[in-house]
Chains A and B, each alone.
Chain A
Amino acid sequence: MANLVKIAARNLFRYKRRTLLTLSLIVLGVLFVTGFVAVTGSFKGMMIGQITDSFVGHMQIHRKGYLAAIDTLPLTMNLKPQAVKKVEAVLEEMPEIEAYSKRIKFGGMFSNFTETTNIRLNGVDPEEEAKTVPLLLSRVLGGDKILKKGEIFVPELLAKGMKVKVGDMVVVIATNRDGSVNGKQLRVGAILESATGPGGRDGYVHMDDAVDILRMEHPEISEIAVRVKDFTKLHEVFAVLSGSLSGEVNKEGKPVFDVHTWEKLSPFYNIARMIDMMTLFVKIMLVAIVLISIMNVMVMAVYERVREIGTIAAIGTLPRKILAMFLLEGFLMGAIGAIIGSLLSVAGITALNAAQIPFDFGRQTGLILAPTIDPAALLTVSGIVIGVAVLASLQPALKAARMDPIEALGHV
């Protein structure tokens, strides 16, 4: 086999300029694809991280139908304490779950005593929330990062519009599920930087304050945000959790709970899918580049070596070996291109990281582009290149293997 590889390598470099030109095309293709995958992948990963870790969480559990009506934040669709206990029991049993946070979501009026405006609020247990969405604390612009009872974290835009700052007293007024209105004075504990996506401009109050304002006897939870230990296993955990909760049905025999991953909760998922689609098209372009360039080289190689093929066939080389010899040439070309391309990609990605290129996304500014390429992705791209290279060599190789030795020997 080593000798066959040696012969194939020599055949490849028989026409140096042509082989180098083809190799450079493949290398450029690999560079482009891996660069694209690295940059878009890191952008996607960063944005998903920002969204899930800032406010959405990896998954959310609601009462069935709540999500469809979330724009009105219906208090009538909150989970009763018993239902919450059932969910908590399931979550506690799952070792894959890192943390979860119960939220009471409600809409109200926000007043600085001279002006009043609308506000969407989350009543949370600060510790639970910090564990479930750890980047929330990084959004705290001023004030104490720990939300205390009697305090409110005001979203940045609202704070600017209402001219409130940390330490100011404000009033939050809300209507409870029975229609009665209640209000509570709260101190501005911190200003919260906005984040992209729904819920990214919500304020936060302590769970006990939410219970007070809404005059609840017990906390009635709107949603439970869940964080998993290993994000790469999110869908497996989701399947288990959904399965565990699907057994809970109401009197009509319908499921009580809805479980959703972040994909169903954030419109960024559509952008992420678009990025995936673009990556797929870029990969298809790479396949086309490799296919056309290698097929061209191999067709020429067979055409130029007809007499040689006739000679090796005449001296007893089996057709399958002739096939293998030409496939090996294609394989080598693909492998060399993939290896050089991958090495240059890694160098390029390292250089991009060293350059610390800043970019903005939505209201988030000064993000640093940190492209990374998963070794598995690099292997996938290399595998595609090598596979396509072999595939592109197949037709010319078959032609060589099926050549009639007499005709080939007589070729001029």
Chain B
Amino acid sequence: MEVITGQDVAKVYHNGGVPIEALKGVSFSIEKGAFVSFVGPSGSGKTTLLNLIGCLDKPSRGRLTVAGTDVSQLGRTDAALFRGAHIGFIFQSFNLIPILTAYENVEYPLIVVQNIPGSRRKKQVAGLLAAVGMSDQQGKRPDQLSGGQKQRVAIARALVTHPQLVLADEPTANLDHDTAMGILRLMKKIRDELETTFVFSTHDHRIIGEAEVLYRIEDGTLKTDGSNGGPGNG
């Protein structure tokens, strides 16, 4: 079953009146529970594609369906509602809220985005912190955590709303190799347990192999698609 389908998806930016085609009509589909990586050099269009899939931006052309909804023309509020219900985000710089503890950072989307009552919230947050191995660090604030720990908290935050899809833009770029591999393995483990689809972008060759499905983007076009021939290919 497909979670994401893109047909002739294009994105054109205007820089001082000059059109810049960041995506030149890409078509692809991603199955539910897939562990997918978009790889390519900086400026190739992978972040643009992730932004489109994440409903943070609208395509200039084409049709993009995420979790059964055509998200190509969602308005600002509808897009926010859609993201809150179906998509989790993991950022390169973790983007945890500095004044909140690890626990509160994970709890935050349940309070502000989904308005989940207290008792249910507690259960969900505790479960995810345990799943990412951060239960014993839950009272610490981001500045008291290591990079790997921050990203684990960010993963828990992305998953706490039970999204169908988690988007991770360069999730390991700020981590050392061992920590990066640990984070990817954690994401995969959670994918296996929850059947959440993981889509991440990277240009880090050390971790590309961990992806099960690999899309290469170059100059706004998908050059290859299909399964990864790397070591991480299951």
Contact = CB atoms under 8 A, between A and B. Distances in A.
Asked if A pairs with B, the answer is: yes
Most buried by A among B54, B57, B112: B112
Interface stretch (A48-56, A223-231, A313-321, A354-362): A313-321
A3 interface: yes
Contact of A7 (B54, B77, B100, B157): B100
B113 A316 contact: yes
B83 to A, nearest CB: 4
B88 to A, nearest CB: 8
A11 interface: yes
B74 interface: no
A10 interface: yes
Given A318-B77, A318-B81, A406-B57, A312 B99 contact: no
A316 B111 contact: no
A307 interface: yes
Given A14-B99, A321-B112, A405-B56, A316 B91 contact: no
Contacts of B158: 315
A334 B24 CA distance: 51
A311 interface: yes
A contact patch SS: helix
B45 interface: no
A11 B100 CA distance: 9
B150 to A, nearest CB: 13
A269 to B, nearest CB: 55
Contacts, number: 70
Interface string B71-102: 00000110011111101110101010111100
Given A10-B100, A11-B99, A311-B95, A319 B112 contact: no
Nearest to B109: A315
Given A4-B112, A409-B91, A314 B83 contact: yes
A315 B83 contact: yes
Interface in A1-35: 3-4, 7, 10-11, 14
A314 B113 CA distance: 11
A240 B113 CA distance: 58
Contacts of A7: 99-100, 112
A308 interface: yes
A403 to B, nearest CB: 11
Contacts of B228: none
Given A314-B56, A316-B84, A318-B77, A406 B113 contact: no
B51 interface: yes
Given A406-B51, A409-B91, A317 B113 contact: yes
Interface string A91-108: 000000000000000000
Contacts of B85: 316
Contacts of A3: 111-112
Contacts of B93: 307
Contacts of B56: 314, 405-406, 409
A316 B109 contact: yes
Interface string B47-65: 0000100101100000000
Nearest to A405: B56
A310 B92 CA distance: 13
Interface residues of B, number: 30
Contact of B81 (A312, A314, A316, A405): A316
B101 to A, nearest CB: 10
A312 B57 CA distance: 15
A312 B80 CA distance: 10
A7 B83 CA distance: 22
A234 to B, nearest CB: 52
A321 B109 CA distance: 12
Contacts of A307: 93, 95
A376 B56 CA distance: 49
A308 B95 contact: yes
A315 B100 CA distance: 16
B83 A319 contact: no
B80 A318 contact: yes
Most buried by A among B51, B57, B80, B81: B80
B78 to A, nearest CB: 10
B95 A319 contact: no
Interface in B102-155: 108-109, 111-113
Contacts of B83: 314-316
B99 A313 contact: no
Nearest to B48: A406
Contacts of B81: 316, 318
Contact of A311 (B80, B88, B97, B99): B97
A319 B77 CA distance: 7
Contacts of A315: 83-84, 88-89, 108-109, 113, 157-158
A21 B80 CA distance: 36
Contacts of B87: 316
A311 B100 CA distance: 14
A331 to B, nearest CB: 17
Contacts of A311: 89, 91, 95, 97
Interface string A292-316: 0000000000000001101111111
Interface of A: 3-4, 7, 10-11, 14, 307-308, 310-321, 325, 405-406, 409
Given A315-B84, A316-B80, A317-B84, 5 more contacts: A11-B99, A312-B108, A315-B113, A316-B113, A317-B80
15 contacts: A3-B111, A4-B112, A10-B99, A310-B95, A311-B97, A312-B108, A314-B54, A314-B89, A315-B108, A316-B80, A317-B80, A317-B112, A317-B113, A318-B77, A319-B80
Interface of B: 51, 54, 56-57, 76-77, 80-85, 87-89, 91, 93, 95, 97-100, 108-109, 111-113, 157-158, 161
